Amino acid sequence: MPHASCPPRVLALIPPMTQLNTPYPSTAYLTGFLRSRGVTAMQADIALELVLALFSPSGLDALKARIEALPRKERSPLAAGFLKHFGRYRSRIGPAVAFLQGRDPSMALRIASRTFLPEGPRFDSLDVYVADEGEDPLAWAFGALGTQDRARHLATLFLNDLADLLREVADPRFEFVRYAESLAQSQPSFDPLAQALAAPPTLVDKTLERLTLAAVAHHEPTLVLLSTPFPGSVYGAFRMAQAIRARHPDLTLVLGGGYVNTELRELAEPRVFDFFDYVCLDDGERPLLALLEHLQGQRPRLNLVRTFTRVDGQVRYFNSGEPDIPFAEVGTPTWDGLPLDRYLSVLDMLNPMHRLWSDGRWNKLTVAHGCYWKKCSFCDVSLDYIGRYDTAGATLLADRMEAIIAETGQTGFHFVDEAAPPKALRALAEEILRRNLAVSWWGNIRFEKSFTPELCELLAESGCIAISGGLEVASDRLLQLMKKGVSVEQVARVTRAFADQGILVHAYLMYGFPTQTVQDTVDALEYVRQLFQEGCIQSGFFHRFACTVHSPVGMHPAEYGITLHPQPFKGFGRNDVRFSDPTGVDHDRLGRALNKALYNFMHGIGLEEDVRRWFDIKVPRPTVARHYIARALGRN
């Protein structure tokens, strides 16, 4: 461990996988904060570096060697095609990646021609758009122009083909935004993760270890932070820690992030500390300051803040109860040290709103900490990241925006709030206009009545280009049960007010909520169809309801008519919990229909048709009036 005479050098690392188009903001927040307190802090995105190493000429050489080591009879058509056209794959991967990074836009014409890139099974998806022989399958999306976007979509399919091949022959757990997710998601036992970490490293693992050790050698830290926002980044973080521990046993390793805050709150597994020295909960600023003081001999271990460690072979939790750093004092995030020109803007989904999550580089910023509503019964309202609401003034937020623009040269912002408060957004919009800042921004809100047409106009003038929010079950009965605080009619009016200003709207949707019937599900889809038809929303996503132990449903299941069936806790993760719903509905089967319908709605298909056509089982007729949303908008 470092001594008091050794000033700390902190390196914050982003493990695989998060996203390709922009840095995950956790390290930017912590690096900016630590520097504001005089701590030498650095950061690196190992997730991005891993993708760039795997999808490079040398990465494809390694993939080719893996395939050639397989007997011919074990090579799939995808692998055989890769070997047959390897020269083209190898020579095209560099230009395709450079194009997606925005470093070689002139390559768009060659890629868009569909004669430049080798085309594997992923390109078969284009066939669904062909109406007549010889017709351009992407004409509906890009028309005669749109060459850059057309090429970006084709280059994305090219990378997806190679990712499929990588999974097939090198590491079946690999995903661009999830890596070995099942090893960590709601895992009560550490055993699956421990077994995977004890197994011989895959090609992906070896590459990850090499990149991790190179980053440590370059920055020479005394303390390394690994941030795990999602279950799909946990395995990568542990592999990285394993490599660091083997090469640098004296380095202090700390684990934190959204996954830890949600799933490891009852951590009792000593083996975790074979990889990490400390595990910190919730916002990292205060725990890290306390830990740095402890490592320098200035604070006893007993006075650590929200921190697990191993003592005499047992896991101990220390929390002195000191208050968190106020949101106004956490400083400005910094992206210094992250290669902003090397992120890849990929275009999987052609829907203009849906693409924002993967296309373009956005400066991620928070308007307010926590949620001002914090009542939704499906949400983890008992946890700090939701329950502790704290704000900063519009002047300070605009100052942060200007500082970030000066550092990055980028004027696009994604506000990553749980639900940005309308009052704070109004004040920020007015400050942006007062300063005459030319920015574009988007973020998450609640579809509440405070978002009047007048406010939506103001937000659009300040640079708002898109909004996302939760419609959830699209049923007034269930919205009331989940304490959402909105109605379907209100959502229609609010979303239309945004859409009338040219602001794209994305709706988060849910199915499988307690007591939700087949009739509720059919009616919800009918509401969604009408919202698309009336131009209220342009994008959406249906996810299956999951009961978590930190939500009101998980804490008070009887109030929602369900019975919980928790797994035995074995010292590691605890979050999602199985339950029985007396309705007995097969929500998985209904969910397939919902997602199929939504995919088509986002592409303008089937908006005039009876929603029952999407289901492969007999379902009841919708009880919703055919023009309910139009009437709610005063159009009928």
Rounded CA separation 265/363 (Å): 30
Task: Check which CATH number belongs to the domain holding 607 and give it.
Answer: 3.80.30.20
Instruction: Provide the β-strand partners of residue 226.
Output: 13, 255
- Collapse the DSSP code of 422 into the 3-class scheme (helix H, G, I; strand E, B; otherwise coil) and give the result: helix
513, 559: one domain: yes
Q: What is the pLDDT of residues 471-487, one digit of tens each?
A: 998 899 999 999 999 99
At 44-74, the pLDDT tens digits run 999 999 999 999 999 999 999 999 999 999 9
Residue 538 exposure: Cα atoms within 13 Å on the Cβ side: 20
**Statement to judge: residues 162 and 218 lie in one domain:** no
Position 337 in a domain: no
Q: What gap in Å lies between CA 3 and CA 9, rounded to an integer?
A: 12
Asked whether residue 388 is domain-assigned, the answer is yes
Query: Which secondary-structure segment (H or E) carries 263?
Result: helix 258-263
DSSP secondary structure code for residue 347 in this structure = -
CA atoms within 13 A on the CB side of 167: 14
Instruction: Point out the domain boundary residue: 268, 294, 328.
Output: 328
Q: Are residues 366 and 231 in the same domain?
A: no
* 569 shares a domain with 431: yes
Q: Model confidence over 75-120: pLDDT tens digits?
A: 999 999 999 999 999 999 999 999 999 999 999 999 999 999 999 9
- Give me the CATH number covering residue 315: 3.40.50.280
% residues pLDDT > 90 (the chain): 89
CA dist 297 and 169 (Å) reads 49
* Shared domain check, 83 and 199: no
DSSP β-bridge partners for residue 578 = 565
Q: Are residues 196 and 214 in the same domain?
A: yes
Between strands 314-318 and 307-311, the pairing is antiparallel
How far is the C-alpha of 14 from the C-alpha of 140, rounded, in Å? Answer: 38
- Alpha carbon of residue 19 to chain centroid: 7
Counting the structural domains of the chain, the total is 3
At residue 352, the pLDDT reads: 82
Tokens, residue 219 = 């920055």
- The band of 2, judged by pLDDT with boundaries at 50, 70 and 90, is very low
Q: Are strands 504-511 and 464-472 parallel, antiparallel or unpaired?
A: parallel
DSSP SS3 for 442: strand
Q: Residue 141's Cα: distance from chain center in Å?
A: 25
| Whether the predicted pLDDT of 36 surpasses 90 | yes
Q: Is 344 a domain residue?
A: no
In DSSP terms, which residues pair with 464 in a beta bridge? 441
Residue 327, both tokens? 């949101």
216 and 143 together in one domain: no
CA-based nearest residue to 469, from 504, 500, 520, 440: 504
How many CB atoms are closer than 10 A to CB 584? 7
What is the C-alpha to C-alpha distance for residues 567 and 573, in angstroms, rounded to an integer? 10
Residue in 90, 68, 91 with CA at minimum distance from that of residue 80: 68
Q: For residue 158, is it within any domain?
A: yes
Tokens of 203: 């090609």
In sequence order, what DSSP letters do the residues of 138-187 get, joined into one string? THHHHTT--HHHHHHHHHHHHHHHHHHHHHHHT-TT--SS-SSGGGTTT-
Residues 44 and 57 in one domain: no
Rounded-to-integer distance, Cα 156 and Cα 347, Å = 6
**Tokens (6 digits) for 57:** 């000429």
Higher pLDDT, 319 or 566: 319
The residue from 259, 294, 328 where one domain ends is: 328
Domain that holds residue 234: 9-48+181-328
Which one of 295, 328, 361 terminates a domain? 328
Q: Is 465 helix (H, G, I), strand (E, B) or coil?
A: strand
- Predicted structure pTM score: 0.94
Alpha helices by DSSP H, 446-500: 453-462, 476-481, 488-499
What's the confidence (pLDDT) of residue 135?
A: 61
Residues 382, 500: one domain? yes
My answer on whether 94 and 162 are in the same domain is yes
Query: Six-digit token pair at 175?
Result: 């995903």
Integer Cα distance of 42 and 32 in angstroms: 9
Q: Which residue has 């802090």 as its token pair?
A: 41
Task: Tell me the C-alpha distance between 300 and 291, whole Å.
Answer: 9
pLDDT tens profile 415-471: 999 999 999 999 999 999 999 999 999 999 999 999 999 999 999 999 999 999 999
Residues 450 and 473 occupy one common structural domain:
yes
Please indicate, yes or no, whether residues 536 and 609 belong to a single structural domain of this protein.
yes
Terminal Cα-to-Cα distance of the chain (whole angstroms): 72
Q: What is the chain's mean pLDDT, rounded?
A: 94
Please name the residue that has the structure tokens 């740095």. 292
Strand duo 440-445 + 412-415: pairing: parallel
